[in-house]
Structure 1
Amino acid sequence: MQANWHQYIECMSMRVGKLNNNLSLKGVQRMTREHGVVIFSKSTCCLSYAVSILFQDLGVIPYVCEIDHESDGKEMEKALIRMGVNSSFMFPAVFIGGLLVGSTNEVMSLHLQGSLIKLIKPYISGLKSN
């Protein structure tokens, strides 16, 4: 399987009208619970793309939400900050099993330590790219 930018799964719409801050928080929390590996990104972020490719190479198809394409993207950013995402290094914001892992530095550190594969093992699809 050739991993590329076009394999991103679009962020599902979980809105009825305009969400307020609280509903955005609940929506983001629900998204992180319902999908094994979630990457919140911006479409222009090359690090988000690199992290997504890493997961795909490890056999996981991450659920990618490009918040700059979401009508309530600013509210989603605020929700991510309330969930513990560092506003200085916001994207990518990676969640595994509903828990915040962090951004590129944390994901790469876990990968180099050999710990990332343990975290994603339940979500490996068996369709690793070569």
Structure 2
Amino acid sequence: MDVVKGLVQERPVVIFSKTGCPVSHSMRQLITGFGANPTVYEIDQMPNGREIDRVLQMMGRRPSVPSIFIGGNFVGGPNDVITLQVQGRLVQMLMDAGAIWVWNRN
């Protein structure tokens, strides 16, 4: 847990991904569409990627990617992020985390 916690601390938005994962790419596009700049970790290219993968699975993510953290908190996977967007809560979470400062729907 500490390895993941260390990577998400003090970063507004973190996405754990694997190279070429189209769903991870879609999540990144969604979040950057609001003006945020997520930190993306490609765990298949990291020396401790297997350990991170196991931790994410222990957190309930199967498959482990994409896993999204906002404001240091585990949000979940793509379905969870889309649910937040549909509920109108995603933008506020991004603002609360300092990932974006203003949001204009127009």
Over alpha carbons, which structure has the higher Rg? 1
Cα distance, 1:125 vs structure 2 = 6.0
In the alignment, structure 1 segments of 5+ residues that lack a partner are 1-24
DSSP-derived class of the 2:8 partner: helix
In the alignment, structure 2 segments of 5+ residues that lack a partner are none
Instruction: Show the counterpart of 1:115.
Output: 89
Cα distance, 1:113 vs structure 2 = 1.2
Higher helix share: 1
1:51 is aligned to 2:27? yes
Paired amino acid for 1:105: N
Maintained 8 Å contact 1:38/1:94: yes
Distance in 1 separating the partners of 2:30 and 2:60: 20
* 1:17-28 equivalence runs, <5 A: 25-28=1-4
Paired amino acid for 1:72: N
Distance in 1 separating the partners of 2:35 and 2:21: 22
Maintained 8 Å contact 2:57/2:63: no
Maintained 8 Å contact 1:89/1:103: no
Identity of aligned residues (%): 34
Distance in 2 separating the partners of 1:85 and 1:48: 17
Q: CA RMSD in A?
A: 1.4
The number of residue pairs the alignment matches comes to 100
Out of 14, 19, 38, the residue aligned to residue 38 of structure 1 is 14
